[in-house]
A and B are shown apart, each in its own frame.
Chain A
Amino acid sequence: MEVETSHGGQNMQPLLKVEKVVKAYYPKSAAGPREKLLALDGVSFAIAQGGTLAVVGESGSGKSTLGSCISCLEIPTSGSIWFEGRDLVALREGERRRVRPRIQLIFQDPSNSLNPRWSVEEILLEPLILQGRLKREELKHRAVALMAEVGLSAELFQRWPAQLSGGQRQRLAIARALALEPKLLILDEALSALDCSVQAQIANLLIELQRTLGMTYLFITHDLAMAAHLADEIVVMNRGRVVEQGPAEKVLRHPKEEITRHLLAAMPSLNRAVRPPLEL
């Protein structure tokens, strides 16, 4: 399959290029031998530096497995993941460890991805200490700067995650990810668990960070409306395969595949006066 670069900057070298990635699992089955399940079946696409690519599809289409493979939480069965000119699949563990901080993940539910027994301060200092670049007295300064960057008041420094609102927790998760100066943020349903009004606030923060830091996003979502708003390019997945990809507006306005049309029809929307009838 021809690999297109992201719409945002056609002339730029892609920051991330995924080539024919396959991930097979062998889940237990009730009867008989384990069967092979292809969570990813030859997935290819590329994202330009500073661009946003949205991956959409139903539950079980392989979206999250893709995020895990790119962030090196899982190693693909075959294929290549080129990031900053190196193939993450072929790297040795030691080298992979050095690349990992540059790709950060933001999860759906910040209450599960933040340690409940750590204060905001501890959560933000941990990556900075592990990074080992700053002197002790500089650490706190940097943590406060990170909070400002994501719109969190420094007053929250001593709070626990449980004392924060959902929006504040997701801002904290983003600040923690930014601590390691990543190039790529993988947003795995990062807005889905938030209230609509908070979703808009976090979406604006992501847009702002892309402008100021040149951040690149892989936005995994089932919210096509948010994908349409944030992404330059859209990849539609079904059963581990890419069924359609292209510039966001083109894919959503003139979908070629049945799956894409199906996803569009299922999207809840306020301004759809006549919706197709609900069926049992």
Chain B
Amino acid sequence: MVPILEVQDLHVSYSLPGGASYAALAGVSFQLGAAEILGVLGESGSGKSTLAASLLKLLPSNGNISKGSVLFESKDLLCASAGELQQIRGKRISLVYQEPSVALHPALRASEQVFQVLAAHESVGKSTLRKKTRQLLASLFLKEADRISNSYPHQLSGGQRQRVLIAQAIACRPSLLIADEPTAMLDPTTQREILGVFRTLRDELGLAMIFITHNPALLAGFADRVLVLYGGRVAELGPGRTVLSSPRHPYTRALFQSMPQILETTDNQRKTKLPVIAGDSSATPLPLEGCVFEPRCPDRMEDCRKREPVLVNLGESHTVSCFKYGG
């Protein structure tokens, strides 16, 4: 596999008022193949949105990439000039955000918003661009494409707005799409529909995708590989099917156990306490030494406080960062 994206040892920190700094990502590495869907799973504070933003150097002004490299199509994006990045963002790599109602301009028609993306990146005549816009929207909206193209965002449903954002994102035929919680605000029926759209784009256009979410269930049957992020570090990385059905890291295991399973709930289990992961990662600071998950870990051992585990290969490109497996 020739990866189209290779992230190596990425470290990102935010400087805080008073001179302190907070490490949001500490040594994240992974590869992404062409037409591959990588699901990034993590809770608030795990660094998943920082990851999305740093891949395109879109961090807020107090964010700082202190170490690492992001090789995209053999070019290090972290060393790219502003002009080069401008050519890549939206054209070769595009982003889809969580809230389509915020990401879309409220006073422009859907077609205009897609048109502007094309106009920014392609130097062909207006009429060609208009035609392209129409084709794009028609491919995403099998029914009512004309009505939707002429609508303002507030006249569209959540799922329709998300499709307009996707149209913008794929307008210039990028090879990589980064989607940060793109379905979090949608109901399950619409969520499923949007996941279907992503899958079709991958199958038909060969689009690779980084799909960021806090809901592991969304990744089942969707992501080719799953990366579990905890405290800015890779806890577990492996094939989607393996990680989701037999997770190995104590965090991933505990997370999956805390989720109620719909058809497994019997009358006896109803209203019984769910097994939870003790503590609250976004309310307590991470430990400075040892494994970041140690304070909440149900399987903690002597070693876990002393040093940080390294990624252990369990075979089939499934890696886990935990001393239980040798780390």
Contacts and interface: CB of A to CB of B under 8 A. Distances in A.
Interface of A: 52, 58-60, 164-168, 193, 195-201, 203-204, 207-208, 210, 222-226, 228-232, 248-249, 252-253, 262-264, 266-273, 275, 278-280
B216 A270 contact: yes
A203 B271 CA distance: 9
A249 B264 CA distance: 10
Contacts of B200: 278, 280
Interface of chain B, main secondary structure:
loop
Contacts of B158: 59
Interface in B207-246: 214-218, 220-222, 244-245
A167 B259 contact: no
25 contacts: A58-B187, A58-B190, A59-B187, A167-B280, A196-B255, A201-B276, A204-B274, A207-B273, A225-B259, A228-B260, A228-B263, A248-B270, A252-B262, A252-B263, A262-B189, A266-B189, A269-B261, A269-B262, A270-B261, A271-B245, A278-B195, A278-B196, A278-B200, A278-B222, A280-B197
Contacts of B269: 229
Nearest to B41: A196
B214 A263 contact: no
The 10 A-B residue pairs whose C-beta atoms are closest, nearest first, are A268-B217, A278-B196, A200-B258, A229-B260, A195-B43, A165-B282, A225-B262, A200-B274, A165-B283, A275-B221
B261 A225 contact: yes
B195 A275 contact: no
Contact of B280 (A196, A198, A263, A266): A198
Contacts of A231: 270
Contacts of B272: 207
B218 A196 contact: no
Given A196-B258, A225-B259, A272-B221, A267 B188 contact: yes
Contacts of A229: 260, 265, 269-271, 274
Contact of B191 (A164, A207, A266): A266
Interface centre among B190, B262, B266, B277 (most CB of A within 10 A): B262
Nearest to B184: A193
Interface centre among A224, A269, A275 (most CB of B within 10 A): A269
A222 B188 contact: yes
Contacts of B273: 204, 207-208
B157 interface: yes
Nearest to B296: A197
Contacts of A232: 270
Contacts, number: 150
A271 B263 CA distance: 10
Interface of B: 43-45, 142, 157-158, 184, 186-193, 195-197, 199-200, 214-218, 220-222, 244-245, 254-256, 258-267, 269-277, 280, 282-283
Contact of A204 (B186, B190, B192, B276): B276
A252 B264 CA distance: 11
B34 to A, nearest CB: 20
A167 B283 contact: yes
A237 to B, nearest CB: 12
A58 B151 CA distance: 23
Contact of B43 (A58, A198, A225, A271): A198
A271 B261 contact: yes
A229 B265 CA distance: 6
Contacts of B157: 59-60
B281 to A, nearest CB: 8
Contacts of B187: 58-59, 222
A229 B272 CA distance: 8
Contacts of A267: 188, 217, 262
B97 to A, nearest CB: 16
Contacts of A279: 193, 196
Contacts of A263: 188-189
A274 B309 CA distance: 34
Given A195-B43, A198-B43, A266-B189, A280 B255 contact: no
A263 B262 CA distance: 12
Given A225-B260, A268-B192, A197 B266 contact: no
Given A165-B280, A229-B265, A253-B263, A196 B215 contact: yes
A248 to B, nearest CB: 7
Nearest to A280: B200
A198 B44 CA distance: 10
